Chain A
Amino acid sequence: MEPIENLLIELIDAFKTRREDLIELVTLIDIYGEEIDKDGTYDEKTKYIATLNRLLEDNPDVAGEIGWDLPKGLLKFLSKDNVDTNKRLGTNMIVQGVMKCFYAISIYGEPKKCLITGLELLSAIPIEDVSDNNPQSKADIADEQAPKSVPEEANKEDSDPYDISAFGERKSPSEFFLTLKAYILFEFIGASLKRISTLYPSKYLGATVAVIEKFVYNHTDSFEDALFILRRVYTFCRSYIPPDPPKDIQLNEEFTQEMFDKVVEKENKLQVKLLRKLCSFGISTPIKTVNTNTDTKYYCALNHQKFQISAYYTELLELCCRFYQIALSLDVDIEGEFENVLKECRLIYKSVPKEASAVNEEAKLVLERMVYKLSYTFEVQKAAKEKNVGLDPNGVVLFSGINYLETNQPLVKKMTITDAVYLYLRFTTPSLYFKVYSSVAVESVNRYWLWYAITTEPLSTVKTELKNLSVFVTKALLQVLLQKNCVQVNQHLRMVGFTLITRLLCLVPETVAFDFILDVLKTCPFPLGKTSALCILKDLSRRHTSRNDNNPETSSLSEKLSKLEINGNYNSKGGNTKYYIQLDFSRMRAVHECCLQTIHDSFTVDAKKSEILLLLTYLNIFIVLRDQWDKDLLKFVYSMIASNLKLVEPDKFPKYREIVDTNKSLNAYLVGIK
């Protein structure tokens, strides 16, 4: 490489001598940039970028002509060779220099061309292939040469293009560079958009929204935390100022003032639609994998418990609230939009037949599968036919949850259990077919609405509605709730989820509840699901229905819930005791068959710990329910286990220790020792 001093002289000279041939000038800048980035030291790169920045500022006319062509080359300097991702960004003069060049280009560059360049780069921005273990990178050397003082930067206004405080938290190298480049491009795009003079701003905003959506869609999974994307989209929506119409516009007979006003009005409406769409999409997509804890907050409120979340979630929910506020600023009728979503849900599920209309087992099976697929099919068809620029329904549902998080009030006062069930299935089942539809955040909101429906509507109404609901719909609801809850890693949230399932099983017709539990014991792929189903069975077959079930006063429910009494009592002394689930012989027999299968699975050579634990749960539940259970069946279970235990090899015996003890206890009860 040429000495840097010579190269800089040539660069300065090129800005003077090549003004007439700007293509050559751009080519020279590209060549110099590539050469220095490849072979230059940190100081040399810093000097080069600083010189380029000064030249752009001193030659606004040249910057106006060639500025749009420089961003791609400038972004190349943001690499692992030049930036140590483990050190403060504010100390890196290459990053500072690149940002300043972008700022100069956004001020002097031709705005339409700059916008297009920015959009092209943002839509194609890759995840860098950067190893996390690169202790000897050039950046280490570069950083040693970097000045130790931190340049005075930013915190002036929200919209400061040089505010790099967002990079305080360290990310993985690949996420770091993606974040840094995207940050610069978002600012560049926003600044360019503001400077465009046009009568048709929706054209440029539409292109921008499309690219931002593509970026969000493509990179949501690339970011470890959702805050970055949320912040960028929020800042864009909040800072958007519509471009002014051209000042030299000629109003005449062919283009009158009235025609001009109409164009402006139409353009305004279009821009509002685009911003609303971006706002709803911009919140729903980045937090797809984040639990908003809306249902947990409601559950805590019911239990008079303090709702506590980590600092990260607090920050995230704060940002979500800002999206909600911006939606209000954009005149979004959130309540009306949510009502429309509910209408759409009714449309999807209202024609699902009740069980009676399904004549045979095969037809039932088809209907069961159909319920799962209805929403997915609807979603695909809707996407194919969609022509309007509407709000993202996921975003609307999230807004309904944020409304509660923000105000402690429900968005809509009345939520029937039917609507809540449809809402849950509508937004949860499509993910079973295509992962892209999965949203943990929306699921949390929809569970909140289920909770809300069963705790605010009179119980008699809830029960009647659930009774009238298609059994296929009810079954799908319970199955999906269980399945999702089984993969929940947080123990507290899992407990809240199982409490909801238990509560719903108290409210659905008894046959539906028992059939569901039996189905879980037979077919659920998650041992935790089976264990939970057994515990629920134990609970519901010991609790008798409350006399207050038909009482419209729901406050008593909240009280009971606060003491973790789901509803009803143990040990009724009344003669007409009605349990939530009555255990007759055929039901005991059915559970017994499931237990026998578990005994079989627990004593195979490669029996898993989870299977042995499930067997232990069966035994414990039989002990608790021994007075209700058929003694012969229990004796059979005891004998089966005892005989299997005799065959266990000595080295594997320790893992059956608890089974041995519990089986002995069961026998002791059976022979009347205890």
Chain B
Amino acid sequence: MSEFYKLAPVDKKGQPFPFDQLKGKVVLIVNVASKCGFTPQYKELEALYTRYKDEGFTIIGFPCNQFGHQEPGSDEEIAQFCQLNYGVTFPILKKTDVNGSNEDPVYKFLKSQKSGMLGLKGIKWNFEKFLIDKKGKVYERYSSLTKPSSLSETIENLLKEVD
């Protein structure tokens, strides 16, 4: 079994969100922030989620305040912001660190699997994305500049793959 499915971050209420529930799904993991120039990507992310969720695709957002302090609010405020401004329906988990000594184990795993620009493991900014295939393998890592809508084709191909 992929290490990915052994991970269990916590949701906004502090309850475990075991990744074994994601087996067989294509997953997009994004570190999100409410006050970033890339925040409008929520709209495209929600559109992707709505379009493919019934085919076995999901998105998981990890709010993070490590980039320009652009996610200063509480978990409750973050959830409210996403819902009110972008109608987000995909899971937004508890605010966490994605770099440094307190980084979330999910990010430790993801970064160990795919490096970013210049072979760096560190997350560079808000809205970096990791795409995970149906077997729990990190398929690709995308920078903040990559628009979620541009991932449609790749997601469709991954969804077509046989379990």
Residues on A close to B: CB < 8 A? 157-158, 238, 241-242, 265, 268-269, 271-272, 275, 318, 321-322, 325, 328-331, 334-335, 407
Contact = CB atoms under 8 A, between A and B. Distances in A.
Given A318-B69, A325-B67, A271 B37 contact: no
B107 to A, nearest CB: 11
A329 B118 contact: no
Contacts of B118: 242, 268, 271-272, 275
25 contacts: A157-B37, A158-B37, A238-B124, A241-B117, A242-B117, A242-B118, A268-B118, A268-B119, A269-B119, A271-B118, A272-B118, A272-B119, A272-B120, A275-B118, A325-B66, A325-B67, A325-B68, A328-B100, A328-B122, A329-B123, A330-B120, A331-B120, A331-B121, A334-B100, A335-B101
Nearest to B120: A331
A329 B119 CA distance: 11
A334 B101 CA distance: 9
A614 to B, nearest CB: 48
A329 B69 contact: no
Nearest to A158: B37
A325 B120 contact: no
A345 B101 CA distance: 24
A329 B120 CA distance: 8
Nearest to B102: A407
Interface in B68-106: 68-69, 99-102
A639 B152 CA distance: 96
A328 B66 contact: yes
A241 B66 CA distance: 20
Contact of A325 (B37, B99, B117, B119): B99
Nearest to B99: A328
B124 A329 contact: yes
Contacts of A322: 68
Contact of A331 (B69, B122, B125): B122
Nearest to B143: A241
Contacts of A331: 120-122
Contacts of A335: 101
Contacts of A242: 117-118
A335 B100 CA distance: 9
A323 to B, nearest CB: 12
A65 to B, nearest CB: 31
Contacts of A265: 119
A318 B101 CA distance: 20
Contacts of B101: 335
A238 B37 CA distance: 14
Contacts of B121: 331
Nearest to B128: A329
Interface in B111-163: 117-125
Contacts of B123: 329
Residue among B37, B122, B125 with the most chain A CB within 10 A? B122
A330 B66 CA distance: 14
Contacts of B124: 238, 329
A668 B78 CA distance: 71
Contacts of B100: 328, 334
A158 B38 CA distance: 10
A276 to B, nearest CB: 10
A550 to B, nearest CB: 32
Given A158-B37, A241-B117, A242-B117, A329 B122 contact: yes
A370 to B, nearest CB: 38
B119 A321 contact: no
Nearest to B121: A331
Q: Which 3 A-B pairs have the closest CB atoms?
A: A328-B99, A329-B122, A268-B118
A568 B157 CA distance: 73
B56 to A, nearest CB: 32
A350 B120 CA distance: 37
Given A157-B37, A330-B122, A331-B122, 11 more contacts: A271-B118, A275-B118, A321-B69, A322-B68, A325-B66, A325-B68, A325-B99, A328-B99, A328-B122, A329-B124, A407-B102
A662 to B, nearest CB: 54
Contacts of A272: 118-120
Contacts of B68: 322, 325
B69 to A, nearest CB: 7
Contacts of B125: 238, 329
Nearest to A321: B69
Nearest to A328: B99
A329 B67 CA distance: 10
A230 B122 CA distance: 21
Contacts of A238: 124-125
Contacts of B66: 325, 328
Nearest to B119: A268
A335 B101 CA distance: 9
A157 B39 CA distance: 12
A112 B102 CA distance: 41
Contacts of B69: 318, 321
A565 to B, nearest CB: 35
A329 B37 contact: no
With a 10 A CB-CB cut-off, give which of A242, A275, A330 has the most chain B CB atoms.
Answer: A330
Contacts of B119: 265, 268-269, 272
A272 B37 CA distance: 25
Contacts of B99: 325, 328-329
Nearest to B103: A328
Contacts of B37: 157-158
Contacts of A269: 119
A337 to B, nearest CB: 13
A321 B123 CA distance: 16
Nearest to A271: B118
A322 B68 CA distance: 6
A329 B68 CA distance: 12
Most buried by B among A158, A242, A269: A158
Nearest to A267: B118
